[in-house]
Amino acid sequence: MHKALQLPVKKLPEDAEALRQEVREFIAEELKANTFEPQCDSWLGYFSEEFSRKLGERGWIGMTWPKKYGGHERTALERFVVTEELLVAGAPVAGHWIADRQSGALILRYGTEKQRESFLPKIAKGECYFVIGLSEPNSGSDLASVSSMAKRTENGWILNGSKLWTSGAHHSHYMIALVRTSPRDPEKRHDGLSQFIIDLSSPGVTVNPIRLMTGEHHFNEVLFEDVFIPDDMLIGEVGNGWKQGMAELAYERSGPERFLSTYPLLKELVKVVENDADKYAKVAVGQLIARLRTLRQMSLSVAGLLEEGITPDIAASLVKDLGTQFEKDVAETARLLISSSPSTSSDSQFEKLMAQAILHSPGFTLRGGTTEILRGIVAKGVVGR
């Protein structure tokens, strides 16, 4: 097997399992108090300021960051356990998710000391939310063709352009955007790109909703019209945005949210077929469970590599490719096995979760890099090395 596809088997330490019990007890208390109802795809669209703040108070945001920036210096595997339990519970974590998963990590790696001291403690408290600014209306999945342009001015930059499919921009405070800072060179398509932290309350920023088939609002179009960005909001080096952005995506593609978005439905499906005499149904659900166990081990191995300071971009792309297909298959298997009337307003928890999963599933293999892009990364990584 190619070296890039070899994932070391990783086991969780005892400390991490003890933390798991602590998280489960917290979630049980919250469910008993009816502070939330489990939902599919909760990390993308289930928002609660209060819940994010509670997680911050418990030290479950910014877990791996240095204490001097508000973090808690815990391991990537401990963070894995917390995120896994929150996703399994379908908890409202969308508010802080992007900031905790990748914006904070990017600022920690490439940001200035002032940026770290300013943003990371607020993120760790669950009080500061970020969005991703990558896709654009005419760029599709080809990020090298982004055309939003920041031009030099006195003490900063003036930004014009737009970003599309920005989840949670209407709730968030800042965006980390990949934009052009020099004209496109057809021979060097990845050059001339830079990353900026953009205050979404700045004059010239407009956030327009893009609603789902369900009527839900978590995608947005964000327009920039002569938006001033101070010099100290540049992340890293001018022109190094492509390299930084690709490193950021490795944090995004391998986590348990790439195969647990429909777990609340799978849990209900297991309850439904437990007393079903149909052996075919039990076999079909058993196959899903076997795939879930494999995906979890792969994701856990990637977390272990990140803990060692390795950025496994090929393995992360594989986890997302296989994981998002699994998420869609959970919804489709439930639909085929169980006769029901899915509805987001049903009194049946199974039917409600199935409706959420079916309506959200078209986006599973698109967000965070389409299946085609991911397979291109794997192919280039394996053949080209």
- CATH number at 113 reads 1.10.540.10
Bridge partners, 151 (sequence order): 158
Amino acid at 334: A
The DSSP bridge partners found for residue 194 are: 179
Mean pLDDT of 339-356: 92
What pLDDT sits at residue 275? 78
Residues 182, 258 share a domain: no
pLDDT band at 384 (very low <50, low <70, confident <90, very high): low
| Domain boundary, last residue among 113, 128, 143 | 128
Q: Is the pLDDT of residue 385 over 60?
A: no
Residue numbers of the domain that contains 361: 253-384
**Confidence label for 123 from pLDDT (cuts 50, 70 and 90):** very high
If you average pLDDT over every residue of the chain, what do you get? 90
% the chain with pLDDT above 90:
63
Q: For 264-298, how does the pLDDT look when each residue is reduced to its tens digit (9 = 90+)?
A: 999 999 998 987 768 888 999 999 999 999 999 98
From 226, 246, 266, the end of a domain falls on 246
In the chain, how many domains are there?
3
DSSP class of residue 215 equals S
Same domain, 375 and 267: yes
Helix (H) or strand (E) holding 122: helix 113-124
313-337 and 279-307 are packed helices; what angle lies between their axes, rounded to 10 degrees? 160
Q: What is the pLDDT of residue 47?
A: 94
Note whether 177 and 235 are same-domain residues: yes
Residue 217: CB atoms within 10 Å: 14
Q: Tell me if residue 346 falls in helix, strand or coil.
A: coil
**231 and 260, same structural domain?**
no
- Same domain assignment for residues 258 and 379: yes
Structure tokens at 259: 């195969």
CATH number of the domain that residue 187 is part of: 2.40.110.10
Which range has the top average pLDDT, 14-18, 198-202, 371-375?
198-202
HSE-up (13 A, CA, CB side) for residue 188: 9
pLDDT at 320 over 90: no
Q: What is the pLDDT of residue 369?
A: 74
Residues 6+ positions from 282 with CB-CB distance below 8 Å: 273, 276
pLDDT digits (tens, 9 = 90+) for 208-256: 999 887 788 889 999 999 999 999 999 999 999 988 887 777 666 668 8
CA 137 to chain centre: 21
